[in-house]
Amino acid sequence: MYLKTSQPLLILLTMVWSAAAQWDPAQGQWGKSDPRDLRVMTYNVRDHICRNANKSEGYNAWHALARIVAALRPDVLVMQETGDNEGNGTPGGVDSVEQLQRTLDLFLHGGNDPFLPGGPVGAYVQKYAPGYDLPYVFVSPLTDGYNRNVLLSRFPFVDLNGDGVATRPDISGILPDLYAPGGNGGIRGFMFVEMDMPDLSYGGDLVVGQAHLKAGQTQSDKDERERAARNVAYYIDYLFNGAGTGVPDPRGKIMDNPPATRILDDLTPVVIAGDWNEDELYNGRKGPAEWLVAAQLLGGNDGTDRDRSDATYDNAVEPYTGSRTTQTAGYKYDYVAWQDSIAGLRRAFVFYSNALAGVPSWLPPEVAGYTVPHDASRMASDHRPVIADFILPDPGWPRGDMNCDGQVGFGDINPFVLALSNPTSYQSQYPQCDLLNGDINGDGRLDFADINPFVSLLAQP
């Protein structure tokens, strides 16, 4: 039933208070400022997501990890050191791909545990964040004998560059060329996944890569990390972006099979992340993070941004203390990097509950429910997640412009309510408009979940 003109105005304005900003860590709000921002989170989980993990709601790592993911709710979650039962202190070696897929399903959704019989899983992400999900999962078939890389996403996987493959556990082999020594992405591979973003919410699509580069501080360890980073930089510039030529692999050095037939469009960014095992601030050399964003020339014209300038890696800190540390030893090993000519950074931060012990109001409610709330991060892993919120290109129409006058304002309230309550009548009254102009949260549909984001949009256009 269509509401009278005064009713929708009153309803929506009184909801302004419930549509408070979702980014206010001092009040325990760690969500995105804009629901259509892309949140990417990288997390080395230190062997604690595996089939033989203790999955109860107790003082354990699985429980802590489930609550942290539920609190931060990434759109794309990449994790390293999953599937390692021996490292978790239980026998059984590394999980198979199928076993880890089932384990990740238990981690997200709960259910009866087939690996540790005895009843349902006690702790899982949707228990603490109902309605949140990462339905698309890629488990790398590559293993170093201990663990695997995984990627979980809100968005479906699709081939974007015409080589018939949407998911790769490692880059295609490269023949030595220019600064690339040749080979692959290193010991555990450098995973890449191509994703289809909703056309009515985003102007382009998305590619995300991640890796757990070689650990250790010997010269051979450093050399291996550098080799992998140089190869991957070449792969991004030449295969995905065509090195400025408009065609993939213009020098014919990448053994993509079948070969890519097109480069990514100019609104589709590449985002890379992971545990790169070297701190660029203290390593005294050009390390893997700098190679991955800049390639051979810092500030030159061979970088891994689409326009061949340098891409950017994060400068994230923990919001309360300002610490940049992502690993127990006191270094930054975990990174998110992106093509900043396409994707804008809203913010990047490190989450570490132990830093919030003296300020309980800062703890997200999901983490506050943990057995010892401030200790969740320490229990979860010896690494801290890095989270980045990106502003992606929009599809060209203003979000929330429900009367199609080219701007968003109070004149859009009545048509927004009409679209919610009577879509047919809305399309009849506004034939020039797309009903999904009201899809403010970017989930591909117009429904009541768009009301609070719509009010936020009116309050802060």
Residue 10: pLDDT over 60? no
Residue with the bigger pLDDT between 407 and 186: it is 186
Cβ within 8 Å of residue 131, ≥6 positions away: none
User: What's the CA gap between 114 and 101, in Å, rounded?
Assistant: 13
**Chain position carrying tokens 């699985």:** 62
CA separation (Å) from 257 to 166, 174, 234, 235, 320? 13, 12, 17, 14, 48
Same domain, 55 and 97: yes
Within this chain, do residues 266 and 305 fall inside the same structural domain, yes or no? yes
Both 288 and 191 in one domain: the answer is yes
Q: What is the pLDDT of residues 57-101, one digit of tens each?
A: 999 999 999 999 999 999 999 999 999 999 888 888 999 999 999
Query: Could you give the CA distance from residue 234 to residue 228 in angstroms, rounded to a whole number?
Result: 10
Asked if residues 453 and 19 have their Cβ atoms less than 8 Å apart, the reply is yes
Q: HSE on the CB side for 444, CA within 13 Å? A: 7
| Domain range enclosing 253 | 37-391
- On whether both 295 and 146 belong to a single domain, the answer is yes
28 within some domain: no
Cα separation, 148 vs 341, in Å, equals: 31
CATH of the domain at 312: 3.60.10.10
Question: Both 443 and 314 in a single domain?
Answer: no
Distance CA(429)–CA(418), nearest Å, equals 10
pLDDT at 3: 42
Task: Residue 412: name the closest of 403, 422, 399 by CA.
Answer: 403
pLDDT for 439 equals 86
**Considering the domain boundaries, does residue 166 fall inside one?**
yes
439 within some domain: yes
Mean pLDDT of all residues in 134-151:
97
Whether residue 139 is found in the same domain as residue 162:
yes
Q: How confident is the model at residue 106 (pLDDT cuts 50, 70, 90)?
A: very high
Instruction: Tell whether 384 and 411 lie within a shared domain.
Output: no
Domain count, the chain: 2
**Residues 13 and 44 reside in one and the same domain:** no
What pLDDT sits at residue 11? 53
20: confidence class by pLDDT, cuts 50, 70, 90? very low
Task: Say whether both 373 and 401 belong to one domain.
Answer: no
Residues 317, 192, single domain; the answer is: yes
- Which of 350, 368, 391 is the endpoint of a domain? 391
Domain edge (last residue) among 369, 391, 413? 391
Residue 1 domain-assigned (yes or no): no
Q: Is residue 435 part of a domain?
A: yes
Helices and strands: H and E segment counts in the chain? 11, 14
Asked whether residue 32 is assigned to any structural domain, the reply reads no
Give the residue from 391, 410, 441 where a domain finishes.
Answer: 391
Q: What is the overall mean pLDDT for the chain?
A: 93
